[in-house]
Amino acid sequence: MKNLNNFVENYIEILSKSILSTNITNLEKSCKEILKRIKNKKTIYVCGNGGSSAIANHYVVDFLKFFKDKTNLKPKILSLSNNIETITAISNDINYKNVFSYQLDNYYNKGDLLIIVSSSGNSKNIIELIKFAKRKKIQTIGFSGFSGGYLKKNCNISLHINAENYGISEDAHHILMHIQLQYLVYYLTKKKLF
């Protein structure tokens, strides 16, 4: 354990570089798209697999509570990763690759927004979801890591992290989500948050 300090320093350095590798123009575009949906009372859907599903669910917590508490706006945001009963029913009776697209087909309305979090960007259910969104002309924001995969190449706004590690990728995605949230609150209120 004597090398833990060096390990921590290296981890934080790589994480910082990964976050800074994100296209800031795309990050700004993503903030504008999120705010536009909130102001127009449209729904924002988020999803991901594994650790990315936790980030998707955290989006809902922070935008429903923190954003609403700090502004006069009421975001409509739902996680497609949050209902295990629905996910297992679709997986068992239809196909796991349809767990997100099947739900979105029931929920979406014109003008809604879809945020997808996937380190690899290549999960079958993510690919199926992107194809569905393209057919239905649903605007997409994609958080990816590694090479970015199918998600990076096919979403409307790519927030790609230059990281070859799941922990770094997921940590960076989580931080970017908080940056979006807190920047939008600051933009709307001009109140210092930290």
Count of C-beta atoms within a 10 Å radius of residue 41 = 11
Averaged pLDDT, 171-176: 98
How many domains would you assign to the chain? 1
Measured CA to CA, the distance from residue 141 to residue 158 in angstroms comes to 6
Q: What integer best gives the mean pLDDT of the chain?
A: 97
Is residue 41 within 8 A of residue 173, CB to CB? The reply is no
Residue 106 resides in a domain: yes
Instruction: Report pLDDT digits (tens) over 103-115.
Output: 999 999 999 999 9
CATH number of the domain within which 13 lies: 3.40.50.10490
pTM of this structure:
0.97
Per-residue model confidence (pLDDT) at position 63:
95
Averaged pLDDT, 62-84: 96
Containing domain of residue 155, as a range?
4-189
Helix (H) / strand (E) containing 161: none
Residue 194 resides in a domain: no
Instruction: Report pLDDT digits (tens) over 5-41.
Output: 999 999 999 999 999 999 999 999 999 999 999 999 9
Residue 81 resides in a domain: yes
Q: DSSP readout, 3-39?
A: THHHHHHHHHHHHHHHHHTS-HHHHHHHHHHHHHHHH
